[in-house]
Chain A
Amino acid sequence: MSLEDHLAVHGPLPLVPRRGRRAESPLIGRVERAGLRGRGGGGFPLARKLRAVARSRRRSVVVINAAEREPASLKDKTLASKLPHLLLDGGQLAAEAVGADEVIVCTCDSAPAGAESLAAAVEERRQLAAEPAAMHLASAPNDYLAGQESALVNHLNGGRAIPTFTPTMIFEQGVRRRPTLMSNAETLAHLALIARHGSRWFRELGTPAQPGSALLTLWGPLENPGVYEVENGAPLTSLIDAAGGTTAPVRAALVGGYAGAWIAGEFLHGVALSDEHLAAHGASLGAGVLVLLSDSACPVAETARVTRWLAKQSAGQCGPCANGLPALAQTIAELAAGSAQPQAAQRVERLGSLVAGRGACGHPDGTATFALSALDEFAAEFADHARHGPCDACTRPAELPLPLPARVPAARGPAGYASVR
């Protein structure tokens, strides 16, 4: 959407003046009443982040995190391509609320469409009368962990895009040692709407605990897989209907992406898309990824492939992750090949609980959650593979989306991503 169209639909940036230089921006209270939580996977209340940075007396920086390194997530890329100005409005409003004079818009190398759209939007906005903050574009490398908060700060500070061990929080010391507010792209787009329409308007949708709508990326055997805006708490079946319905029976759904959990196909009719409801299934919406696995896919082969990929994404900095994830992937691969030692399933469980909570970032925890949930949900299939080796479905084309290997020149699909079908 061009700036002209954006202004026609949404109007100008609704800057809310403060009641004095030291007073808190009224927008922060409004975000708090709206109950907006981060949509990058962490689910942290945005108002608390804003307040932490606003309290600092030093000049701060806002980072719009549109790197979106979760392989199955396309929502932020979609938002960046289609509604770049809404996203930039969110960054500017956050800057105004925390007293920042700079907004860094961070996309990733593998999604040129979103990056180009944002670059054009930043250029277009130069015609606007004074905005609260100067805007700069930055790009994160393609690695899975590059979008993690401390990794992205490290990258923006000229270091490698890998997580750091920082007892100091970025709201105290982040980009160029300045207090930093980093927020996911979708979260800031919601902020731009809350600033215009208020907290009550935001709460008209969703549940009391999880108000508003969310952008979800839906993959699988569907007529129209893709990114959908869904009311939090809506039935999963309504989302599947919106996507034109399924084209094959569904064995299970992966909720929350590759740090998420599986829910069996027979329960999908009763699933509501809210964290309160999903908690009963050991799942949460996370960064809003839902992957339906068809009945004809082999869940064991799929789990082995994704776990191997996740193990390769370890930055290799923390011993339990650098050793534990390859061991986890190896044991699952042996189970899938029918060459595992006795008690291999128990070893997967032990490795999963051994790595969790022992890294500088949440990567080992997320990988363990994914692997253990698969072992639990597909217990019969794992036992069958352990006994008899690969099944007929093992050689079928993979269904769970992963980025294509870097050096293979690929036909330009949606931004270098393997096709879902």
Chain B
Amino acid sequence: MSQRLRLNPIACEAHGMCAELLPERITLDEWGYPLLDDEPLPRSLLDHARRAAQACPTLALRLERAPETS
């Protein structure tokens, strides 16, 4: 069961912590809002991703189960 990132764009206030903690998957746009994809995360990045989600001051970033690829 793989996980992916999910952002609540309304809650996000561009603190940018996520991009610092998970630069492999998250970059910031010119206003400081994260650019991310919803591809499943590899096992090697899971801990970093969890930390990035926990560090978000507005809890806008979450990990969710990725739909099964058939």
Interface residues, chain A, CB within 8 Å of chain B? Answer: 164-165, 167, 317-321, 323-324, 354, 358-360
Contacts and interface: CB of A to CB of B under 8 A. Distances in A.
A360 B9 contact: yes
Interface of B: 6, 8-14, 29-33, 35
Contacts of A167: 6
Nearest to A164: B10
Contacts of B35: 358
Contacts of B12: 318-319
B10 A354 contact: no
Contacts of B11: 165
Main secondary structure of the interface of A (DSSP, over half): loop
A165 B29 contact: no
B31 A358 contact: no
Nearest to B36: A358
A333 to B, nearest CB: 19
A317 B31 contact: no
B55 to A, nearest CB: 18
A319 B14 contact: yes
A317 B6 CA distance: 17
B8 A319 contact: no
B43 to A, nearest CB: 24
A358 B33 contact: yes
Contact of B31 (A164, A165, A320, A359): A320
B9 A320 contact: yes
Contacts of A360: 8-10
Contacts of A354: 29-30
A362 to B, nearest CB: 12
